[in-house]
Amino acid sequence: MTTLSSPAAVNGVPLQAPHEALSADELRQRACTELLRQAAVRAHLLAADDPAPVEGATSAAAAAAIEALLDRELQLPEPTDEACRRHHAAHAGRYAVGERVQARHVLFAVTPGVDVGALRQRAEACLLDLRCQDGGDRFAAVAAQISNCPSGAAGGDLGWLTADDCAPEFARELFGHAEVGVLSRLVHSRFGLHVVEVMAREPGQLPAFEAVRSAVAQSLRQQAFATALRQVLQRLAGAADLRGVDLEAAATPLAQ
């Protein structure tokens, strides 16, 4: 949580109101947006008197100007057929149709004002503990005791899931993989940090490349966009006066 003695700001523009207590991820997201808003002003795509964001909300003009700035700055090549085929061959499982996963989890929820560093330490300790268990059903007991999800009452059981049942960032960690058991990593989602155990998998059907080429191409476009955006933000951050926010820790800028 950021304190009033060290307000987070980008080039003197505050990122939060005095009453707000934001997580590190929320501050990073606001900082990225503010870097782009100020860049749009310098590029004469946005009026110099555009108001600073209020509680993270930019003006409609700023949102349009940022889009125009990114359209100009991010010159992204269209994925080639060869690149699409290579990606599909390496990640065919991501495009399975009808894949299902039976899973359970322990959720460490990220809420306003929470100490994210301490929360992560608790989650990592829980992950290590559950990975070291051999026999018994400690996972269910731990979920019932400490999970911040209503599923804790059922030992963390989420039942059988498809990708459409999950938040996209959660689904990416569960589907298209072969792992069964307690995953070796924390799963990050908009809800917080998850310790996840995959109980069983049904692989579904793997469509031919031609049937999923458009989806593969879109995935590559998204990867290219994220990489190019990260480079732009790194350049802007390097020339900016940043206070109270660490953009180096951002895995994916402007992640939703």
- pLDDT score for 4: 41
The reported pLDDT for the residue numbered 250 is 46
Tokens of 64: 């349009």
Q: What dotted CATH number matches 98-202?
A: 3.10.50.40
- 24-63 as b/e: b if 16+ CB within 10 A: bbbbbbbbbbbbbbbbbbeeebbeeebeebeebebbeebb
In 3D, which of 126, 202, 59, 145 has the Cα closest to residue 118?
126
Q: Which residues have C-beta within 8 Å of that of residue 223, sequence separation ≥ 6?
A: none
Say what angle helices 116-131 and 138-146 make with each other, to 10 degrees: 160
Q: How far is Cα 183 from Cα 103, in angstroms, rounded to an integer?
A: 10
For residue 220, count other CB atoms closer than 10 A to its CB.
20
What is the Cα–Cα distance from 152 to 140, expressed in whole angstroms? 8
Could you write out the DSSP letters of every residue in 111-172? Answer: -TT--HHHHHHHHHHHHHHHHT--SS-HHHHHHHHH-SSGGGGGTTEEEEE-GGGS-HHHHH
Structure tokens at 140: 């269910």
pLDDT score, position 47: 96
Q: How far, in Å, CA of 130 to CA of 206, rounded?
A: 32
What confidence score (pLDDT) does residue 214 get? Answer: 94
Specify the long-range contacts of residues 215-218, CB closer than 8 Å, at least 24 apart. Answer: 215/95, 216/79, 216/84, 216/87, 216/88, 216/95, 217/78, 217/79, 217/84
Residue labelled with tokens 């990489």 = 227
Q: How far apart (Å, rounded) are the C-alpha atoms in residues 54 and 17?
A: 8
pLDDT at 6: 61
Domain ranges, ordered by start, for the chain: 9-78+216-249, 98-202
Mean pLDDT, 10 residues at a time, the chain of 256 residues: 61 86 80 94 96 88 94 91 94 82 95 84 93 81 95 96 91 88 92 94 88 93 91 93 76 44
> What is the C-alpha to C-alpha distance for residues 74 and 230, in angstroms, rounded to an integer?
11
Residues 27 and 1 sit within 8 Å (Cβ to Cβ):
no
Q: Given this model, what pLDDT does residue 16 score?
A: 85
Task: Answer whether 0.85 is exceeded by the pTM.
Answer: no
- DSSP letters spanning 176-235: T----EE-SSPEEETTEEEEEEEEEEE--B---HHHHHHHHHHHHHHHHHHHHHHHHHHH
